[in-house]
Amino acid sequence: MRGPGERAPRVLVIIPAYNERENILTTVSKVVDAGYDYVVVNDGSKDDTLELCRANGVNVLDLPQNLGIGGAVQAGHKYARRYSYDIDVQFDGDGQHDARYLGDLVQKVREGANIAVGSRFVGETGGFKSTFMRRVGIRWLSWCLRLFAGVRVADPTSGFRACDRRAIELFCESYPIDYPEPESIATAARHGLEVREVPVVMHERQGGVSSINALKSVYYMVKVTLAIVIASHSAGKR
């Protein structure tokens, strides 16, 4: 509820997309139906994602080369800052995120969170919980964040998250590149930002192929664990 004379925040939904021709138009339509501004960040797709977006009048920011998910999301944060949005929400282009929960994330930020993370593991939300091995990895990263960064997040790999202006400004200046979700939480905690979770339902990919295979999963766990430890050590030096 807004107080008398209080304006609604301007909200931008950032949709990073890499080779998402099978999903992107459906994803955009769901965000539009939910009533939000959006920008698709085409991350150097090798398929016709860009052409499909342009042919259908989609608001698309085209990166000249593939920067990875971190670079694409940071480009979206910079777009939000440039056009003076109060809140932005990362919303993946692969059909996993549910637009019905956009308002819940935005509301959590309006209640005081700097970052609101959509969590599969808070409350009885049902939906797709990921594979067993990935759930094990998620619990490990959650434990690392609690131990080293002092922040409790049950679903640290979730890419469904909302940021206020303070978080947007931070991530415009510094954002992890490879697998940014858990590392960015550690970065936020290091800078004193408050991270809260919101129960959400997620779905399996509606098409395309995940960029994380078995070999990359090992690299992911080692790299992100080290990043969390380093970020937390840096926090102790401030």
pLDDT in tens, the chain (238 residues): 555 567 899 999 999 999 999 999 999 999 999 999 999 999 999 999 999 999 999 999 999 999 999 999 999 999 999 999 999 999 999 999 999 999 999 999 999 999 999 999 987 665 555 666 778 889 999 999 999 888 999 999 999 999 999 999 999 999 988 778 999 999 999 999 999 999 999 987 555 445 454 456 677 788 888 878 887 666 444 4
Look at residue 101 in the predicted model and tell me its pLDDT.
97
The domain that holds 149 is classified in CATH as: 3.90.550.10
Look at residue 134 in the predicted model and tell me its pLDDT.
77
Q: Which amino acid is at 67?
A: L
Neighbours of 5 (CB within 10 A): 5
User: Which secondary structure element, helix H or strand E, spans residue 173, and what is its range?
Assistant: helix 165-173
Q: How many residues does the chain have?
A: 238
Residue 103 lies in a domain: yes
Q: Tell me the per-residue pLDDT of 9-21, one tens digit each, with 9 for 90 and over.
A: 999 999 999 999 9
Residue 24 lies in a domain: yes
Q: Tell me the per-residue pLDDT of 47-80, one tens digit each, with 9 for 90 and over.
A: 999 999 999 999 999 999 999 999 999 999 999 9
Residue 109 lies in a domain: yes
The span from the CA of 76 to the CA of 229, in Å, is 27
The span from the CA of 187 to the CA of 40, in Å, is 25
What is the DSSP annotation of 5-19?
TPPPPPEEEEEEESS
CB 73 within 8 A of CB 63: no
Relative to beta strand 115-119, strand 195-199 is parallel
SS3 86: coil
The span from the CA of 47 to the CA of 218, in Å, is 28
Residue 223 lies in a domain: yes
Domain residue limits at 79: 11-237
Look at residue 127 in the predicted model and tell me its pLDDT.
52
Q: CA triplet 131, 134, 123: central angle to 5 degrees?
A: 75
The span from the CA of 76 to the CA of 72, in Å, is 6
Look at residue 237 in the predicted model and tell me its pLDDT.
42
Residue 1 lies in a domain: no
Q: What is the total count of domains within the chain? A: 1
Tokens of 50: 């860009």
Residue 187 lies in a domain: yes
Relative to beta strand 87-90, strand 161-163 is antiparallel
Which residues share a beta bridge with 17?
42
CB 47 within 8 A of CB 21: yes
Tokens of 163: 């940021």
Radius of gyration (C-alpha) of the chain in whole angstroms: 17
Look at residue 219 in the predicted model and tell me its pLDDT.
77
Residue 46 lies in a domain: yes
Residue 75 lies in a domain: yes
Burial class (CB in 10 A: 0-12, 13-18, 19+), 53: buried
DSSP label at residue 158: -
Q: Tell me the per-residue pLDDT of 172-188, one tens digit each, with 9 for 90 and over.
A: 999 988 778 999 999 99
